[in-house]
């Protein structure tokens, strides 16, 4: 098995330790491998989407990132049926997009939010 070095901050390391203890993983490496397998599986599911789809896109971000959300979402009004914005604790915002349209457009929207590096959480749920 190939060894890969990864730099993690203390908060992420604490969360990995918690997951390891609560879920009974044999070590940190197994937690990280499990997370990577989940990410790969999710990516494959999204890549296989085709045709017209209905989906929900969920975002959590800092309030000061609202300009990024606005600039991305305006380019995808053709697939956005509804957007809900809610303020959470600790200067966080929750965005819920109800989407309907071509899978390629929805996948592109998801990828832009996922890859911008400014969102705390990005999840696409396909109906």
Q: Let me know whether 62 and 101 are in one domain.
A: yes
Does 62 fall in a domain?
A: yes
Looking from the CA of 99 toward its CB, the CA atoms found within 13 Å total 28
CB 56 within 8 A of CB 96: yes
CA quadruple 58, 125, 113, 17: dihedral, nearest 10: 80
114 and 66, same domain (yes or no): yes
Q: Tell me what the pLDDT averaged over the chain comes to.
A: 94
Same domain, 22 and 36: yes
117 shares a domain with 58: yes
Q: Record the pTM.
A: 0.77
- Phi and psi at residue 99, to the nearest 5°: -120, 145
- Domain with 41, as residue range(s), is 10-46
Structure tokens at 33: 């491998």
- Residues 23 and 83 both lie in one domain: no
For residue 61, what pLDDT band results from cuts at 50, 70 and 90?
very high
Answer whether residue 78 is part of any domain.
yes
pLDDT-derived band at 1 (thresholds 50, 70, 90) equals confident
Give the mean pLDDT of 79-85: 96
For residue 84, what are its two tokens?
A: 């809900």
pLDDT in tens, 29-48: 999 999 999 989 888 888 88
């Amino acid at each position: 098995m190939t060894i890969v070095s990864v730099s993690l901050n203390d908060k992420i390391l604490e969360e990995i330790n918690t997951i390891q203890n609560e879920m009974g993983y044999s070590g940190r490496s197994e937690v990280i491998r499990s997370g990577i397998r989940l990410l790969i599986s999710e990516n494959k599911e999204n890549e296989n989407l085709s045709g017209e789809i209905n989906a929900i896109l969920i975002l959590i971000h800092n309030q000061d990132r609202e300009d990024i959300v606005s600039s991305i979402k305006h380019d995808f009004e053709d697939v956005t049926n509804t957007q809900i914005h809610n303020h959470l604790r600790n200067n966080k915002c929750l965005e819920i997009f109800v989407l309907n349209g071509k899978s390629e457009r929805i996948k592109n929207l998801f990828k832009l939010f996922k890859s911008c590096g400014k969102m705390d959480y990005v999840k696409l749920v396909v109906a």
